[in-house]
Amino acid sequence: MRLALYQPDIPQNAGALIRLGACLGVGVDIIEPCGFLFSDKQLRRAGMDYLEQAEIVRHSSWQAFREARAGFRLVLLTTKAEGSYLDFAFRPDDVLLLGRESEGVPAEVHERAEARLRIPLRPGLRSLNVAQAGAMVLGEALRQTKGFP
Protein backbone atom coordinates (compact mmCIF):
# COMPACT_ATOMS: atom_id res chain seq x y z
CA MET A 1 0.00 0.00 0.00
CA ARG A 2 1.25 3.47 -0.90
CA LEU A 3 0.06 7.06 -0.99
CA ALA A 4 0.79 9.12 -4.10
CA LEU A 5 0.50 12.91 -4.30
CA TYR A 6 -0.03 14.28 -7.80
CA GLN A 7 1.76 17.63 -8.14
CA PRO A 8 0.86 18.82 -4.64
CA ASP A 9 0.26 22.57 -4.20
CA ILE A 10 0.27 23.04 -0.45
CA PRO A 11 3.36 22.08 1.57
CA GLN A 12 1.43 21.68 4.83
CA ASN A 13 -0.81 19.01 3.29
CA ALA A 14 2.13 17.18 1.76
CA GLY A 15 3.95 17.29 5.11
CA ALA A 16 0.90 15.95 6.94
CA LEU A 17 0.52 13.08 4.46
CA ILE A 18 4.22 12.23 4.64
CA ARG A 19 3.94 12.17 8.43
CA LEU A 20 0.90 9.89 8.13
CA GLY A 21 2.86 7.54 5.87
CA ALA A 22 5.81 7.49 8.27
CA CYS A 23 3.62 6.69 11.27
CA LEU A 24 1.68 3.93 9.49
CA GLY A 25 4.56 2.42 7.52
CA VAL A 26 3.16 3.45 4.14
CA GLY A 27 5.46 4.78 1.42
CA VAL A 28 4.67 8.13 -0.20
CA ASP A 29 5.22 8.94 -3.86
CA ILE A 30 5.50 12.60 -4.85
CA ILE A 31 4.73 13.22 -8.52
CA GLU A 32 6.50 16.41 -9.61
CA PRO A 33 6.33 19.24 -10.22
CA CYS A 34 5.28 20.42 -6.78
CA GLY A 35 3.82 23.86 -6.19
CA PHE A 36 6.52 24.50 -3.58
CA LEU A 37 10.16 23.74 -2.91
CA PHE A 38 10.67 20.40 -1.20
CA SER A 39 12.81 22.17 1.38
CA ASP A 40 9.90 24.51 2.21
CA LYS A 41 9.69 25.52 5.88
CA GLN A 42 5.93 24.81 5.96
CA LEU A 43 6.47 21.27 4.66
CA ARG A 44 9.04 20.66 7.40
CA ARG A 45 6.78 22.16 10.06
CA ALA A 46 3.83 19.92 9.10
CA GLY A 47 6.00 16.82 8.72
CA MET A 48 8.06 17.60 11.82
CA ASP A 49 10.83 15.11 12.48
CA TYR A 50 8.79 12.37 10.80
CA LEU A 51 10.08 13.35 7.34
CA GLU A 52 13.32 11.50 8.04
CA GLN A 53 11.33 8.41 9.09
CA ALA A 54 9.22 8.34 5.94
CA GLU A 55 9.81 6.39 2.77
CA ILE A 56 9.48 9.14 0.16
CA VAL A 57 10.03 8.58 -3.54
CA ARG A 58 9.99 11.61 -5.79
CA HIS A 59 9.09 11.12 -9.46
CA SER A 60 10.03 13.74 -12.06
CA SER A 61 6.75 13.29 -13.97
CA TRP A 62 3.51 11.34 -14.26
CA GLN A 63 5.20 9.06 -16.81
CA ALA A 64 8.14 8.36 -14.46
CA PHE A 65 5.68 7.51 -11.68
CA ARG A 66 3.74 5.12 -13.92
CA GLU A 67 6.92 3.32 -14.92
CA ALA A 68 8.10 3.03 -11.32
CA ARG A 69 4.75 1.78 -10.00
CA ALA A 70 3.83 -0.66 -12.77
CA GLY A 71 2.08 -3.63 -11.21
CA PHE A 72 0.36 -1.65 -8.47
CA ARG A 73 -3.36 -0.92 -8.71
CA LEU A 74 -3.98 2.82 -9.00
CA VAL A 75 -6.92 4.04 -6.90
CA LEU A 76 -7.81 7.70 -7.43
CA LEU A 77 -9.58 9.65 -4.69
CA THR A 78 -11.74 12.21 -6.46
CA THR A 79 -14.90 14.24 -5.94
CA LYS A 80 -15.88 13.22 -9.49
CA ALA A 81 -16.23 9.51 -8.67
CA GLU A 82 -19.52 7.67 -8.42
CA GLY A 83 -18.35 4.92 -6.07
CA SER A 84 -17.75 5.39 -2.36
CA TYR A 85 -14.53 4.25 -0.69
CA LEU A 86 -16.78 2.54 1.88
CA ASP A 87 -18.01 0.06 -0.74
CA PHE A 88 -14.59 -0.72 -2.22
CA ALA A 89 -12.43 -3.81 -1.62
CA PHE A 90 -8.87 -2.57 -1.14
CA ARG A 91 -5.78 -4.71 -1.82
CA PRO A 92 -2.31 -4.51 -0.28
CA ASP A 93 -0.84 -3.50 -3.67
CA ASP A 94 -3.02 -0.40 -4.02
CA VAL A 95 -1.58 3.06 -4.59
CA LEU A 96 -4.00 5.69 -3.28
CA LEU A 97 -3.61 8.72 -5.54
CA LEU A 98 -4.51 12.21 -4.31
CA GLY A 99 -4.77 15.12 -6.75
CA ARG A 100 -3.65 18.71 -6.54
CA GLU A 101 -5.54 20.80 -4.04
CA SER A 102 -6.25 23.45 -6.69
CA GLU A 103 -7.15 21.28 -9.70
CA GLY A 104 -7.34 17.58 -8.87
CA VAL A 105 -5.82 15.52 -11.68
CA PRO A 106 -6.09 15.85 -15.47
CA ALA A 107 -8.32 13.60 -17.60
CA GLU A 108 -5.34 11.43 -18.62
CA VAL A 109 -4.75 10.50 -14.98
CA HIS A 110 -8.45 9.80 -14.39
CA GLU A 111 -8.42 7.44 -17.36
CA ARG A 112 -5.37 5.53 -16.05
CA ALA A 113 -6.86 4.90 -12.61
CA GLU A 114 -8.22 1.40 -12.17
CA ALA A 115 -10.67 2.69 -9.57
CA ARG A 116 -12.07 6.13 -8.76
CA LEU A 117 -13.49 6.66 -5.28
CA ARG A 118 -15.13 9.48 -3.36
CA ILE A 119 -15.89 10.18 0.28
CA PRO A 120 -19.64 10.62 0.83
CA LEU A 121 -20.42 14.16 2.00
CA ARG A 122 -23.53 16.07 2.94
CA PRO A 123 -25.42 17.52 -0.03
CA GLY A 124 -24.11 20.86 -1.21
CA LEU A 125 -20.60 20.39 0.20
CA ARG A 126 -17.78 19.82 -2.29
CA SER A 127 -14.72 18.30 -0.66
CA LEU A 128 -12.53 17.70 2.37
CA ASN A 129 -8.95 18.81 2.85
CA VAL A 130 -6.72 16.48 0.82
CA ALA A 131 -4.73 15.35 3.88
CA GLN A 132 -7.92 14.54 5.79
CA ALA A 133 -9.32 12.64 2.82
CA GLY A 134 -6.09 10.70 2.42
CA ALA A 135 -6.08 9.76 6.10
CA MET A 136 -9.70 8.56 6.04
CA VAL A 137 -9.30 6.37 2.98
CA LEU A 138 -5.88 5.04 3.97
CA GLY A 139 -7.28 4.07 7.37
CA GLU A 140 -10.07 2.04 5.76
CA ALA A 141 -7.67 0.48 3.24
CA LEU A 142 -5.26 -0.59 5.99
CA ARG A 143 -8.14 -1.91 8.12
CA GLN A 144 -9.42 -4.05 5.25
CA THR A 145 -6.00 -5.40 4.33
CA LYS A 146 -4.82 -5.82 7.93
CA GLY A 147 -1.97 -3.48 7.07
CA PHE A 148 -1.72 -1.43 10.26
CA PRO A 149 1.68 -1.68 11.96
Q: Provide the number of structural domains found in the chain.
A: 1
For 6-24, how does the pLDDT look when each residue is reduced to its tens digit (9 = 90+)?
999 998 899 999 999 999 9
Q: What is the pLDDT of residue 82?
A: 93
Give me the pLDDT at residue 37, please.
67
**What is the CATH number for 97?**
3.40.1280.10
Q: What is the DSSP string of 19-81?
A: HHHHHHT-EEEEESPPSS-TT-HHHHHHHGGGGGTS-EEEESSHHHHHHHTTTSEEEEE-TT-
pLDDT at 84 over 70: yes
pLDDT tens-place string over residues 33-70: 998 767 667 666 666 678 888 999 999 999 999 999 99
H or E segment at 98?
A: strand 94-98
pLDDT digits (tens, 9 = 90+) for 102-112: 999 999 999 99
- pTM equals 0.93
Asked if 22 and 53 count as a contact pair (C-beta separation under 8 A), the reply is: yes
Domain that includes residue 31, residue range? 2-145
What is the pLDDT at residue 35? 81
Buried residues in 126-136 as b, exposed as e (16+ CB within 10 A): eeeebbebbbe
**pLDDT score recorded for residue 47:** 61
